[in-house]
Structure 1
Amino acid sequence: MGCSAGLVAISLAKDLLKVHGNSLALVLSMEAVTSSGYDGKVKSMLLANTLFRMGGVAVLLSNKKNDKLKSKYKLQNLFRTHMGSDDESYQSVFQKGDDTGYVGVSLSRSILRVAANALKTNITELGPYVLPFSEQFLYGWSLITRKKEIYIPNFKKAFEHFCIHAGGKAVIDAVQERLRLSREDGEASRMTLHRFGNTSSSSVWYELGYLEAKGRVKKGDRVWQIGLGSGFKCNSAVWECISELDPNMRNAWSDKIHLYPIQIPDVADH
């Protein structure tokens, strides 16, 4: 299911827990690069060999009442957008064989535009559930009056933290610009990309681990995870922190968190 598979799995686990009482669900999100390596010579398919890195995360979900006392987060909302009915979206990330028979993943030049359209559709569905009425009104009014520039809601009034899929610098930049977020809002994504690379569906969890290790997530805070992936898909998960988190609790960042954030120069700065 591609790089947004982690949130697809959370959606499946959520549905299973609705019909199986007093249960646990274990979700594993990982990237294994060896199985999808490309040995051919087509440049658009070679690119995938350099983008991804090994990584994995395990997430335990529960519907047991007693587990609420020791749980970190509560899942508030989850919305999945699939753009597969559009040919450009469907073919933007596509596994196929080349003329010599080697199988690989082809990445289209239109992928950023496709991702932007998927994100727009997803947040249109998510917005009414998370945004304050004032932001919904401004967005709706811009549609009614048919202004040239549609109002982009201020999602910082709905969320304290953002975990944008670390698919690459261009992806993070595009989502950040689309949502009118600050560079600090994308820090967890950029630092995850810098240290671990694109670990596919597990990247949004590495980002949450970064925020926890920095001691930034407080009880009552809301976290928005945005997963982007082949299909083309855009999936959103909204979590509410329901516990006092200990930043010294060991995770993947513990040994290096004191070194971050670091300054990452733009290509033009080299």
Structure 2
Amino acid sequence: CGADYVKIEKKFPRNFDKIQAFERCAAFDGDADRLVYFYRDASNEFVLIDGDKIAALFAKYITEQVTGAGLSDVFMVSVIQTDYANGNSTKFLRDKMGVHVCCVATGIKNLQKEAVKYDIAVYFEANGHGTVYFSPRFYDILRTIIIHKDVDQTIQIKRLLYFSKLLNTVVGDAMTDLLAVEMILKHYDWTVENWNNMYKELPNVQKKLRVINRSMFQMNADETCVKLRKLQGVIDTIVSKYTDGRSFVRPSGTEDVVRIYAEAATKRDAEAIANEVEVVVAEYCV
């Protein structure tokens, strides 16, 4: 479907091959719970903006409003990710923005379960499925203090309230996420390129390998093989050879397929990791 094709293949979908440079485009999936953006850059190359950058944009806007309202000591903004999140997105959120970042097992239900532990939690999978959770305490506090704050603080508090009402905070909703993105870009007067330049992603590669029995690949929350420990050791050795190397394998939930994720400082290295991991996974399946 649309969003998955754009995310995985990193190609323009049908009928989008003639878009102008920097024209902002969006893709939903079939049931409209995933959202990704894409555009053509000045070099005529395809550029993807996935769930990681949507989360970063939302986190930036929210933290600025929280700080401006003088509520940094009242609310902690948290971002919930999975291991599919790009390594540089995690570094940007944690090191540049100072946001609390938590990583959970793949699956939107796992992100939702973690999100409810916080007053404000931005949670997105890299595939574009996600939203922002606002706790009952968040609403109670804002409604209590809004009439006692000065004009500037009142504006920022209202922005937080209105933003929370714009989103579908119960489940990922591509349409409301898109409206929220467009609102924030308008707020900052940003182009799609400005948004993309928040941080530079590490090149990554995703592959899938058909296997006879996917249950062999039992993973823990850190996407580490717990059943095939020797395989995990080989994967660790492979990634250690590359700068910013990272890789994991994960069984599909619906078919006898193992998905391979690899990232590194360069595209060539990411591809090399993915290819090496694919070979060793195939050997363990024989």
TM-score greater than 0.5 by the shorter chain:
no
- How does the TM-score come out when normalised to structure 2? 0.28
- How does the TM-score come out when normalised to structure 1? 0.29
Higher relative contact order (CA 8 A, sep 6+): 1
